[in-house]
Amino acid sequence: MKFHMKSIIGLLLIFTLIMPTFSIAAEIGSYDGGVLGDPTMTENTYEYKEMFFLTGKPIELTGTVLVPTAPTAGSTSYSQAYTYTLQNTAENITLTRNVTYDIVEVVNESMQQTTYKADVNTLSEAISVNGTEYTLGGYLFDESRLIDNTPAVDYFNGNLYAKKKYFINGDQITNSGVITIEVTSDSYVGYEHLWGESETQVLNYNIEGAIPNATDATQTDIWTGQVTLKMSTLTRNRFKYMETDPQNISFRGNYVKTSNDENVLQYTYNLPTVDTSGAVTETSRVEGEVNLRNDIITDNTSLITSKIRDIGGHWAERSIYLLTSLEVFSADTSFFGPDLPVNRMDFAKAITKSIAEVEPFTQQDLIKRDRQRDREDLYIDVDSDDPELAFVEFVKEKGLMSGEGDYFMPDRTLRRAEAITIMVNALGMTHLAPAPPYKTVFADDGDIPNWSKDAIYVANEIGLIGGYEDGTIRPDKIVTRAEAAAMLETFIYHIKDNITYDYREKVINRY
């Protein structure tokens, strides 16, 4: 079957469904098949490219997108607007698009979860392909997410449904054809944490064209197309050690934290054939794959460098140096004491700084707290005027660490079972252990306290810990400051890099 549909297939994938999420990198190109580029000289405007298919072949539109500023922290209801200006001169295509979304977030404090709902408020498009005009005749849009707010990572899972209708050279009454696009999500997942964020979607586009028959205007010819869009946006930080060249310099080197955005987009398509005259053959199909990628370095920050004298040649030297550069452990000391036991207060401070931007209380903060007469002291053995009370308050409120009754026991040495449990609590994954009774894989499973067994099981399953060469986990072993640094370095790299595989490669390669 053949029918005429001059220059319309290219518009089928220009489905303007871009939704805001965590940052510019994660929010652009989510549903219309675009990739964000470098910033331009105009504020909040970025280079942008978008793929669509014209006469059975992939066509690239390039231009710019104006993005909104991030909503105010704590906002529960807000709007965000985007403006696109795109073209392909060789193919004589222009596209402008304005879309505004209304977003509502509702926090469930008891469940520590947030529901996210987005609706299109306004949407307009002006599309021209070789003189053929396309008018947006109507749209449906529904997008929601469930965000699980754990202390270390906000994980989300979402759903999307959308439908759009275009009229070719006309309106609903008089036109040269109608194009309908329906979009559903197979997978829509992501996360956000102190060290980065990610969003991955697998979307299915089902496209239908209804065109008057070229020889009998009373008849309508139907053609169909299918496109699968796989897109992942990732913002992450990397740590690179830079040695100093001069001999006469007061420090040997320092770490640089580099932030970069990775934007990956893949289309697979099955569309009708369109010849040079604009005739479409439904029974003759065009199949293919298009891949786009754009990586952007967004920031380089030099970190402080410690001048600790007792870690040279130590097995944990690299871990300690990185953790002090990140100020997870204090760097303003000459001696770290790597083989000394780590106490609960130091670990509370370090785990907090590994997952959140929390600073010690200032004198003003402490005075303000004293004025809150209805607020009970956290623990008897932590002074109410201690600036580090901020970290004790954080780990208690987030469920990372608890004391015994009214006592936090800040000076008590930490044991491995405690450290592992604290890290898994931070990830919000303790409840993923199987229902008891069960055994872990460790040879000394019988020595694992009941209160830490779920955390140790999960930590092993997700690759956060691996035990010792003899197959034991040694839950009661005292943790040294060097071991604490190594464990927290592994923890940071786990949330920074390792979970990326789950949220990108595994999802994309499954479909």
Q: DSSP secondary structure string, 411-466?
A: TSBPBHHHHHHHHHHHHT-GGGSPPSS---SSTTGGGS-HHHHHHHHHHHHTTS--
pLDDT at residue 272 in the model: 86
Residues of the chain with pLDDT under 70: 1-33, 52-58, 276-279, 370-377, 511
pTM of the predicted model, to two decimals? 0.86
Nearest to 160 by CA among 177, 179, 148, 144: 144
pLDDT at residue 79 in the model: 93
Calpha distance 215→237 (Å, rounded): 61
* Distance, CA of 491 to chain centre: 17
pLDDT at residue 497 in the model: 93
Buried-state track 432-463, b at ≥16 Cβ within 10 A, e below 16: ebeeeeeebebebbeebeeebbbbbbbbbebe
| Spatial contact of 207 and 227, defined as CB atoms under 8 Å apart | yes
Q: DSSP secondary structure string, 232-257?
A: EEEEEEEEEEEE---SS-S-SEEEEE
In terms of C-beta density within 10 A (0-12 exposed, 13-18 middle, 19 or more buried), how is residue 359 classed?
exposed
Give tens-digit pLDDT for 346-367.
999 999 999 999 998 888 877 7
pLDDT at residue 32 in the model: 61
Containing 96, the helix (H) or strand (E) segment is strand 93-108
- Interstrand relation of 178-193 and 196-212 (parallel, antiparallel or unpaired): antiparallel
Provide φ and ψ at 7, rounded to 5°: 60, 45
Contacts of residue 41, defined as CB under 8 A and 6 or more positions apart, other chains included, come to none
Query: Token pair of 482, please?
Result: 């060097």
Report long-range pairs for 379-386 (Cβ below 8 Å, ≥24 apart): 379/403, 379/406, 379/407, 379/408, 380/406, 380/407, 381/407, 381/408, 381/409, 381/410, 382/408, 382/410, 386/361
Query: Token pair of 499, please?
Result: 């979970």
Contacts of residue 510, defined as CB under 8 A and 6 or more positions apart, other chains included, come to 187
Whether the link from the prior residue into 151 is cis, omega within 30° of 0, is: no
Nearest to 266 by CA among 503, 11, 10, 511: 511
| Spatial contact of 235 and 259, defined as CB atoms under 8 Å apart | yes
Count Cβ atoms below 10 Å from residue 110 Cβ, excluding itself. 5
In terms of C-beta density within 10 A (0-12 exposed, 13-18 middle, 19 or more buried), how is residue 227 classed?
buried
Give the domain ranges of the chain.
2-301, 305-500
Rg (CA), the chain: 28
pLDDT at residue 312 in the model: 92
Q: What is the largest CA-CA distance in the chain?
A: 90
* Distance, CA of 90 to chain centre: 36
